[in-house]
């Protein structure tokens, strides 16, 4: 079963759509998972997803189905990612944060407020609320640069990989938050300050909530409100805004390429997954490539005027549905010695199996160097790269076998030597016994005389 949960949301018709097409819609619901959508030429497409939220759906229902399991997972140190995708005006931001982050009518609260509330509620209900620390960071990708929205002087954050935390945004400001109100206040202040119109139009922030579950566990929860996915020419943009639109388009194209590569790989054949083609795909590498529970909300307009963009969004979602991600628990031990240990639940067993075998056969230092090399090369996040690991493992195995052979030869020589020593000892023992017997016989002869 795929760990990528893909849902579809059809927002209500807006006033422009109502004035142009009345209440006509291109979507006909079948049930909560399937619907029929017509393109501009009235061709019908029968599609199914994990859940479909039709016009008038409650924000609370979307949260419960899509995000609640991810929030619960984050508290158990399972990384989670929630992404909204769709054309401009399709309802991505509304789904993510409702009409506004703070002072929002309870019913209209979006995923962001509900995730924050859900995290703190779960923590307060837990046996030891004090063992949790929640840190928040917020970044945006602007013109292929990652910018810290809590410290605008950090406008070119580097993306790195760590064994424990996976993809990390190096040096990003982390704000420790102790309740929902504090978190939402931080998020809303930054949003108003930094998102002027042209950026707001194309760029969205991702908030990265790091949940330190316990001293030795760490969960990461990322919410990503993507930029509009429509074709650049549809935006009517010019000049700098056109350049921004093109960059966004490239990063969404890179996201599409990553998803295509992941879902079209042939078993047993290594496939290159182009995570490094854009900052967006690099940041989402964990979420897509294996160490996360991921939910994608495909936001669409139900209007016939937007059916071609809606279909393009739905095709993207249908493709993403086939990504088989894996669940990962991050574990940090021996902080004082800065020694990281990762514990895996159900997956990436191949990697762990190979590493375990390498550990048996190589020195700890060699294994560590090999791991570092693979992390640097991005191999650890590419499930298809297991073949490369297998090749490395075979190489190590053959070297180990020949060193075993040499050891067996040495051992045989030692055994031969010991056999010879044993025979010599036996012979001298026999000689001693004979001598002793001879002496005894002589002594008894003397006594008889
Ligand atoms: N589920 C919904 N219920 C009511 N109104 C909605 C819903 N979704 C979106 N809207 C309205 O539609 C408009 C556009 O939505 P929104 O800003 O969320 O789009 P978007 O996909 O984030 O677009 P952009 O890429 O431009 O940010 C807003 O005025 C919003 O209030």
pLDDT in tens, the chain (449 residues): 346 899 999 999 999 999 988 899 999 999 999 999 999 899 999 999 999 999 999 999 999 999 999 888 887 777 888 999 999 899 999 999 899 888 889 999 999 999 989 988 988 888 878 777 888 888 888 888 888 888 889 999 898 887 666 788 888 888 888 888 988 888 886 553 335 222 222 233 344 455 555 445 677 888 888 877 766 556 566 676 677 666 667 778 888 888 888 777 666 666 778 888 888 888 888 777 766 788 999 999 999 999 999 999 999 999 888 775 444 444 443 333 333 333 333 335 566 677 777 777 777 777 777 776 766 555 554 444 444 445 555 555 666 676 677 778 878 888 888 888 898 899 888 888 888 888 877 776 666 65
Cα(10) to ligand 1 centroid in Å equals 11
Cα–Cα distances (Å) from 155 to 149, 171, 174, 234, 282, in that order, read: 9, 11, 15, 29, 17
> Of ligand 1's atoms, which has the minimum distance to the CA of residue 84?
21
Cα(92) to ligand 1 centroid in Å equals 6
User: Is the ipTM beyond the 0.90 threshold?
Assistant: yes
> Of ligand 1's atoms, which has the minimum distance to the CA of residue 9?
1
> Of ligand 1's atoms, which has the minimum distance to the CA of residue 91?
18
Cα–Cα distances (Å) from 439 to 129, 427, 442, 443, in that order, read: 88, 18, 5, 6
CA gap 227, 225 in Å, rounded: 7
Largest CA-CA distance found in the chain, in angstroms, rounded: 142
Which residue, by CA, sits nearest to atom 24 of ligand 1? 88
Cα(89) to ligand 1 centroid in Å equals 5
98 Cβ inside 6 Å of ligand 1:
no
Ramachandran angles phi, psi of 26, nearest 5°:
-95, 0
Q: State yes or no: 92 annotated in a binding site.
A: yes
Cα(203) to ligand 1 centroid in Å equals 15
228 Cβ inside 6 Å of ligand 1:
yes
CA gap 204, 187 in Å, rounded: 13
120 Cβ inside 6 Å of ligand 1:
no
Cα(301) to ligand 1 centroid in Å equals 10
What pLDDT was estimated at residue 202? 29
What pLDDT was estimated at residue 395? 56
Which residue, by CA, sits nearest to atom 16 of ligand 1? 91
Q: State yes or no: 90 annotated in a binding site.
A: yes
Q: 328-331 and 217-225 as β-strands: parallel, antiparallel, unpaired? A: antiparallel
Q: Out of 91, 196, 225, 297, give the residue to mutate to test ligand 1, the one with the largest number of ligand atoms within 8 Å of its CB.
A: 91
88 Cβ inside 6 Å of ligand 1:
yes
383 Cβ inside 6 Å of ligand 1:
no
Q: State yes or no: 88 annotated in a binding site.
A: yes
199 Cβ inside 6 Å of ligand 1:
no
**With contact defined as beta carbons under 8 Å apart, do 38 and 44 qualify?**
yes
Cα(91) to ligand 1 centroid in Å equals 3
Q: State yes or no: 318 annotated in a binding site.
A: no
What pLDDT was estimated at residue 210? 53
**pTM, entire model:** 0.71
92 Cβ inside 6 Å of ligand 1:
yes
Residue with tokens 């639109």: 245
What pLDDT was estimated at residue 375? 61
Which residue, by CA, sits nearest to atom 29 of ligand 1? 89
Which residue, by CA, sits nearest to atom 11 of ligand 1? 91
302 Cβ inside 6 Å of ligand 1:
no
Q: State yes or no: 91 annotated in a binding site.
A: yes
Q: State yes or no: 239 annotated in a binding site.
A: no
What pLDDT was estimated at residue 46? 93
Q: Out of 9, 89, 114, 244, give the residue to mutate to test ligand 1, the one with the largest number of ligand atoms within 8 Å of its CB.
A: 89
What pLDDT was estimated at residue 347? 38
Output the six-digit token pair for 411: 């051992």
What pLDDT was estimated at residue 238? 67
Q: Which of 108, 70, 90 is nearest to 8 (CA)?
A: 90
Output the six-digit token pair for 391: 């090749």
């Amino acid at each position: 079963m795929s760990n990528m949960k893909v849902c579809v949301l059809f927002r209500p018709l807006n006033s422009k759509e109502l004035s142009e097409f009345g209440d006509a819609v291109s979507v006909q619901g079948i049930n909560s998972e399937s619907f029929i959508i017509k393109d501009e030429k009235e061709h019908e497409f029968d599609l199914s997803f994990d859940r479909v939220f039709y016009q008038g759906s409650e924000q609370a229902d979307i949260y419960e189905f899509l995000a609640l399991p991810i929030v619960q997972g984050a508290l158990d140190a399972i990384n989670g990612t929630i992404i909204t995708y769709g054309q401009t005006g399709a309802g991505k931001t509304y789904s993510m944060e409702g009409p506004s982050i703070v002072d929002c009518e309870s019913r209209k609260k979006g995923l962001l407020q509900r995730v924050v509330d859900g995290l703190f509620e779960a923590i307060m209900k837990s046996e030891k609320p004090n063992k949790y620390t929640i840190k928040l960071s917020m970044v945006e990708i602007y013109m292929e640069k990652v910018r810290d929205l809590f410290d605008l002087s950090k406008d070119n954050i580097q993306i790195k990989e760590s064994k424990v935390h996976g993809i990390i945004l190096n040096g990003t400001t982390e704000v420790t938050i102790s309740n929902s109100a504090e978190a939402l206040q931080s998020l809303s202040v930054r949003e108003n300050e930094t998102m002027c119109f042209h950026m707001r139009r194309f760029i969205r922030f991702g908030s990265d909530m790091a949940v330190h579950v316990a001293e030795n566990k760490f969960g990461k929860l990322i919410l990503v409100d993507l930029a509009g996915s429509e074709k650049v020419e549809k935006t009517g943009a010019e000049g700098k805004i056109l350049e921004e639109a093109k960059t966004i388009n490239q990063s969404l194209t890179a996201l599409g390429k990553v998803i295509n590569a992941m879902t079209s790989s042939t078993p047993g054949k290594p496939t290159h997954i182009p995570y490094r083609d854009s900052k967006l795909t690099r940041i989402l590498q964990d979420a897509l490539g294996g160490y996360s529970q991921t939910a994608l909300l495909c936001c669409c307009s139900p209007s016939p005027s937007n059916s071609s963009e809606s279909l393009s969004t739905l095709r993207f979602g249908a493709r993403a549905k086939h990504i088989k991600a894996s669940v990962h628990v991050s574990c940090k031990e021996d902080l004082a010695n800065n020694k990281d240990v990762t514990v895996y639940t159900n997956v990436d067993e191949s990697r762990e199996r190979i590493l375990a075998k390498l550990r048996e056969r190589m020195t700890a230092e060699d294994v560590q160097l090999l791991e570092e090399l693979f992390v640097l090369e991005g191999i650890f996040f590419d499930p298809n790269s297991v073949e490369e690991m297998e090749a490395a493992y075979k190489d190590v195995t053959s070297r180990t076998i020949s060193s075993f052979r040499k050891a067996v030869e040495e051992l045989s020589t030692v055994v031969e030597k010991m056999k010879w020593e044993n025979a010599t000892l036996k012979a001298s023992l026999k000689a001693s016994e004979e001598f002793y017997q001879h002496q005894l016989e002589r002594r008894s002869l003397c006594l008889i005389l």
